[in-house]
Structure formats: structure tokens, C-alpha cells
């Protein structure tokens, strides 16, 4: 009798120990994931970039008029690669808009050693002043860069390390968010210059001595592609100084001009998810049994108000703050952890709100109408 009781007590203790161990592991895992998530959320700069270009830029051997957006998108990604070893924050650049203007937009020298070259200072200032006489807008961009096919006066690096002829240091997200580069429109020759412009706009000032890093000389580094530690720290200080201010523009997710995810592609075309998935007679259900629908990353589709079928919100759609997005019907945070717990059927909760795909489409439609 006593031995049996001892065995039972031992088994209870063993099970309790296993439960405590599981709970502790789950808690530690949860804390680790939350710490990882906080680290990533607080050290990410997602910047929307608008690129302008002129007629001269289009006159390259690769006939850019047929693929200018693809070329500019690749050029921006090439510039982003120069920040590949940058962490805390990670730099993410998204092409949100391209704007074509004529060759008279930029201001060029009429005489002297720089005759025919673009005057960097006056051209950038013209954009800062709103580019009067041109129907252009820079309001939605975090950074605006002009890519020209005309030669631009070269920037000058002073002996003590400061530059002449570069963007405003730390000008991103402000009225000074503008820069200017030359690119031949064929071989991505302006990638290093573009990354330099962006680095300055994000607070880097260049090394005090020539060390072969990205900002050590005009045209890029001579020894390695990226920033040195001083310039990385300068960007980190700029980030920390502005992260909680009204000038912070990198917490949202810029909407890419060239679709990055299926959701971007479908939203741009105002696709009806229910209709395209199940047929023309289906539409998104506004209510189920008198209740609004609560289901992150799921859409409930109705046929004549009776038959109901579930489909997933397209991958890449926003489903919450801090970079959360839909992946295969789940709402997932930036480090890949589940936010929503999916089931086989969409749950209905009184007073809840559905994932309003129609609302997203209408927002996209109104934005497109504003840009026409």
C-alpha cells in the first residue's frame, strides 16, 4: 500500500516537473521570440524612394523606354546592397514611384570648367522648392533621387573630410530629402553614387581619412563596398534620434511600385478575391448570422447570401502593426511567429471586424485617382 502510494506521488511529481519544464521552455522561447521581434522592429528602416529621370537618361543603348521602371528598381536594389552588412538598423529601400521629366528640369552650367554639367546644388534646391512649373509631387516619398543621363558636377571632398555637393546630412523624411546622381542607363553605373546619396541622407558624414570605404571618395569605396564603423554609427545615432519623433517615416511599410508580394499585385488591379477564387457569383460576406466576421488573413465568400466558402487573403497583405503580414492564411510577425490561430472555419464574434479586402481595394482606387 505504502509503495503504491509512493509510486503515485512520484508520478505526480514527475508529471508536474515535466509540465514546469515545458512551461518554462515555452516562456523562455516566448521571451526570446519577443526580444528578437522587438530588436527587429526597433532596428529596421523601411524607406519609400521616388526616382525622377529625364529624357537624356532614356537615350541609352538598352532602350530604357520599354523597361525604365525595372531598370530603376534594380538600380535601387543595387544601392541597397551597399548596406548589406549594416545592422541595427537594417536598411530596406522600396521603389514607390518613378517620374519622367524633360531635359530642362535640371539646371546646368552655361560656361566655365563645368559647362554642360548639371549644377548639383541649384538642381537639388529646385526640387526642394517644389519644382515650380512641373506637375510633380514629392509628398509620399521618404527619399527623392533624380537619376539623370547628363553628367553631374563631381562632388568635392575637403582635406578635413567634409563634402561639397552632396545631399543634406540626415535629410531623409524631411523637406531636405533630395539627392541627384548620374547613371548611363545601361550598366547601372550610378549604383555607388546612389548609395552614397542615401547614406548622407541617413546621417552619415563620411570618414575623416580615406580608408577605402563607401564614403571615402566620390564614386564609392576603393577597398570595400560598404560603410565603415564610424558612418554606421552615425546612421544609428540618426535613427535613435528620430525614431520616436514626427520626422520618423520608416515605421510603415512603403507600397512598392513594382509588386513585391501577391497582395501588392492584386491590390493594384482591384482584384475581387472571392470572384477570382470561386467564380463571378461569389462576393465577400459582410456578415454571418448577423455578426461581423473576425478572421485575420481569411476572407469568407458568399453565394447568393447562403453558401459560404473560405479563402486566404493574398500573401504579403498587412495584418497589423510592426510589419505583420499574411502568409498562407496566417498573420505572421517579422520573425515568423504566428499572431493569429487559424482554424478550419472562420469564427464569428459579435462586434468583430472582418479583414476588409474591399476597403483596401477602394483605398487603392482613390489613391490611383489622386495620381491621375
128-139: pLDDT as tens digits: 999 999 999 999
Greater confidence (22 vs 173) lies with: 173
CB atoms within 10 A of CB 123: 21
Q: What is the pLDDT of residue 169?
A: 94
Is the model's pLDDT at 366 over the cut of 60?
Answer: no
Average pLDDT of the chain is 77
Question: Is 330 a residue whose pLDDT tops 50?
Answer: yes
Q: Which domains does the chain have, with CATH numbers?
A: 44-264 (3.40.390.10), 272-335 (3.40.1620)
pLDDT for residue 43 is more than 50:
yes
Res. 352: pLDDT tops 50: no
Find the mean pLDDT for residues 8-25: 40
Residue 113 has which C-alpha cell?
A: 570648367
Res 170: pLDDT: 96
Question: Taking the mean position of all CA atoms in its chain, how far away is CA 148?
Answer: 24
Give the pLDDT confidence of 194-203 residue by residue, as tens digits: 999 999 999 9
pLDDT number for residue 344? 39
Q: What residues are paired with 45 via a beta bridge? A: 91
pLDDT over threshold 80, residue 35: no
62 pLDDT exceeds 60? yes
Provide the 3-class DSSP secondary structure of residue 369.
helix
Contact assessment for residue 18 and residue 26, using Cβ atoms and an 8 Å cutoff:
no
Residue 280 confidence (pLDDT): 87
Task: Please tell me the predicted confidence (pLDDT) of residue 361.
Answer: 56
Q: From CA 363, how far away is CA 267, in angstroms rounded?
A: 9
Cell triple for residue 184?
548611363
pLDDT of amino acid 340: 55
Confidence (pLDDT) at 345: 43
Least confident range from 40-54, 247-261, 308-322, 324-338: namely 324-338
Among the residue ranges 11-15, 224-228, 303-307, the one predicted with the least confidence is: 11-15
CA 253 vs CA 6, 46, 107, 220, 320: distances in Å: 60, 6, 34, 29, 11
Higher pLDDT, 133 or 25: 133
Is the pLDDT assigned to residue 354 strictly greater than 50?
Answer: no
Q: Alpha-carbon distance 8 to 3, whole Å? A: 9
What was the pLDDT predicted at 9? 46
Phi-psi region of 294 (alpha: psi -120 to 50; beta: other; left: phi over 0): beta
Mean pLDDT of 41-67: 81
Q: How far apart are CA 360 and CA 319, in angstroms?
A: 12
228 phi, psi to nearest 5 deg: -85, 175
Distance between CA atoms of 228 and 217, rounded to whole angstroms?
Answer: 13
Euclidean distance between CA atoms 96 and 157, whole angstroms: 31
Asked if residue 177 has pLDDT above 90, the reply is yes
pLDDT of 322 reads: 67
pLDDT score at 311: 83
Question: Beta strands of the chain (E only): which ranges?
Answer: 44-53, 90-100, 143-148, 156-157, 163-164, 178-182, 282-284, 298-303, 307-312, 325-327, 330-332
pLDDT above 50 for 118: yes
Q: Is 93 exposed, middle or buried (0-12, 13-18, 19+ CB in 10 A)?
A: buried
- Spatial CB neighbours of 34, under 8 Å, sequence gap ≥ 6: none
Q: How far apart are CA 263 and CA 243, in angstroms?
A: 28
Greater pLDDT, 353 or 285: 285
Alpha-helix runs per DSSP H in the chain: 2-42, 55-58, 68-81, 120-128, 191-201, 229-242, 262-268, 273-278, 357-371
Instruction: For residue 305, name the pLDDT band (cuts at 50, 70, 90).
Output: low
Q: What is the mean pLDDT of residues 328-353?
A: 55
The answer to whether the beta carbons of residues 339 and 296 sit under 8 Å apart is: yes
Pairing of strands 143-148, 44-53: parallel
Q: Is the pLDDT of residue 326 over 50?
A: yes
**Position 7 confidence tier, pLDDT thresholds 50, 70, 90:** very low
Contacts of 345 (CB under 8 A, 6+ apart): 310
DSSP 291: B
CA distance 233 to 236: 5
Please give the share of the chain, as a percent, with pLDDT higher than 70. 70
Which has the minimum average pLDDT: 62-71, 129-138, 344-353?
344-353
Mean per-residue pLDDT, 60-81: 82
At residue 337, the pLDDT reads: 60
pTM: predicted TM-score of the whole model, two decimal places = 0.70
**Confidence (pLDDT) at 75:** 93
More confident residue, 2 or 177: 177
314 and 263 in contact (C-beta within 8 Å)?
A: yes
Three-state secondary-structure class, residue 3: helix
DSSP state string for 145-158: EEEESS-BPPPEE-
Amino acid at each position: 500500500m505504502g509503495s503504491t502510494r509512493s509510486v503515485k506521488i512520484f508520478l505526480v511529481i514527475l508529471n508536474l516537473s515535466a509540465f514546469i519544464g515545458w512551461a518554462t521552455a515555452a516562456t523562455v522561447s516566448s521571451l526570446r521570440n519577443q526580444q528578437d521581434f522587438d530588436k527587429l522592429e526597433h532596428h529596421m528602416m523601411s524607406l519609400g524612394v521616388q526616382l525622377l529621370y529625364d529624357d537624356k537618361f532614356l537615350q541609352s543603348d538598352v532602350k530604357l523606354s520599354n523597361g525604365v521602371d525595372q531598370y530603376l528598381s534594380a538600380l535601387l536594389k543595387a544601392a541597397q546592397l551597399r548596406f548589406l552588412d549594416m545592422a541595427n538598423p537594417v536598411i530596406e529601400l522600396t521603389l514607390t514611384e518613378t517620374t519622367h521629366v524633360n531635359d530642362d528640369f535640371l539646371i546646368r552650367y552655361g560656361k566655365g570648367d563645368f559647362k554642360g554639367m548639371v549644377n548639383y546644388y541649384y538642381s537639388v534646391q529646385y526640387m526642394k522648392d517644389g519644382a515650380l512649373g512641373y506637375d510633380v509631387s514629392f509628398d509620399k516619398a521618404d527619399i527623392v533621387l533624380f537619376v539623370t543621363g547628363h553628367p553631374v558636377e563631381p562632388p568635392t571632398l575637403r582635406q578635413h573630410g567634409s563634402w561639397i555637393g552632396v545631399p543634406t546630412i540626415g535629410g531623409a523624411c524631411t523637406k531636405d530629402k533630395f539627392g541627384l546622381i548620374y547613371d548611363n542607363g545601361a550598366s547601372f553605373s550610378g549604383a555607388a553614387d546612389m548609395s552614397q546619396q542615401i547614406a548622407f541622407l541617413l546621417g552619415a558624414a563620411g570618414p575623416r581619412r580615406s580608408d577605402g570605404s563607401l564614403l571615402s571618395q566620390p564614386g564609392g569605396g576603393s577597398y570595400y563596398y560598404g560603410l565603415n564603423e564610424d558612418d554606421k554609427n552615425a546612421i544609428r545615432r540618426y535613427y535613435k534620434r528620430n525614431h520616436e519623433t514626427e520626422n520618423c517615416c520608416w515605421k510603415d511599410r512603403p507600397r512598392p511600385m513594382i509588386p513585391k508580394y501577391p497582395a501588392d499585385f492584386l491590390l493594384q488591379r482591384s482584384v475581387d478575391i472571392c470572384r477570382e477564387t470561386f467564380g463571378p457569383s461569389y462576393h465577400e460576406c459582410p456578415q454571418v448570422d448577423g455578426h461581423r466576421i473576425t478572421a485575420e488573413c481569411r476572407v469568407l465568400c458568399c453565394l447568393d447570401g447562403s453558401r459560404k466558402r473560405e479563402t486566404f487573403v493574398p500573401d504579403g497583405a498587412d495584418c497589423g502593426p510592426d510589419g505583420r503580414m499574411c502568409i498562407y492564411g496566417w498573420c505572421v510577425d517579422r520573425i515568423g511567429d504566428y499572431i493569429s490561430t487559424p482554424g478550419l472555419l472562420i469564427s464569428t464574434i459579435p462586434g468583430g471586424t472582418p479583414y476588409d479586402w474591399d476597403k483596401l481595394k477602394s483605398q487603392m482606387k482613390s489613391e490611383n485617382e489622386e495620381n491621375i
